[in-house]
A and B are shown apart, each in its own frame.
Chain A
Amino acid sequence: MKYKAFLILALPLLIIGSGCANVKPWQRGTLADYTMRADRDPLGQAQIEHMWFSREAASGGRGVGGGGCGCN
Chain B
Amino acid sequence: MNTSLLKKFAVATLLAGTFFTASAALKVGDTLPDLASFKLEGKLPDALKGKIIVVDFWASWCTPCAKSFPVLDELQKKYADRVVVLAVNVDDKKSKMDAFMAKHPVSFTVVRDAEQKLVAAVEPATMPTSFILDATGKVRFLHNGFHGEDTRKEYISEIESLLK
User: CA A70 – CA B64 in complex, angstroms?
Assistant: 11
User: CA A72 – CA B12 in complex, angstroms?
Assistant: 34
A57 within 8 A of B: no
A63 within 8 A of B: no
| Count of B interface residues, CB-CB < 8 Å | 36
Contact A29 B9 (CB under 8 A): no
User: CA A17 – CA B145 in complex, angstroms?
Assistant: 29
User: CA A32 – CA B104 in complex, angstroms?
Assistant: 19
Q: Do A26 and B20 contact each other (CB < 8 Å), given the known contacts A69-B62, A71-B127?
A: no
B5 within 8 A of A: yes
User: Size band of the A side of the interface?
Assistant: 20 to 34
User: CA A24 – CA B124 in complex, angstroms?
Assistant: 9
Q: What's the least CB distance linking B155 to chain A, in Å? A: 16
Contact B16 A17 (CB under 8 A): yes
A24-61 near B? 1/0 per residue, CB < 8 Å: 11111100110000000000000000000000000000
A5 within 8 A of B: yes
Contact B126 A5 (CB under 8 A): no
Q: What's the least CB distance linking A16 to chain B, in Å? A: 9
- Residue with the highest number of chain A CB atoms closer than 10 Å, among B63, B125, B129: B63
Contact B20 A25 (CB under 8 A): no
Across-interface contacts of B19 in A (CB, < 8 A): 17
Contact A32 B62 (CB under 8 A): yes
Q: What's the least CB distance linking B78 to chain A, in Å? A: 24
Across-interface contacts of B65 in A (CB, < 8 A): 71
B91 within 8 A of A: yes
Closest 8 CB pairs of A and B: A72-B145, A32-B61, A26-B90, A29-B61, A26-B119, A71-B64, A71-B62, A9-B9
Write the residues of chain A forming the contact surface with B, with a CB cutoff of 8 angstroms.
2, 5-6, 9-10, 13-14, 17, 20, 22, 24-29, 32-33, 69-72
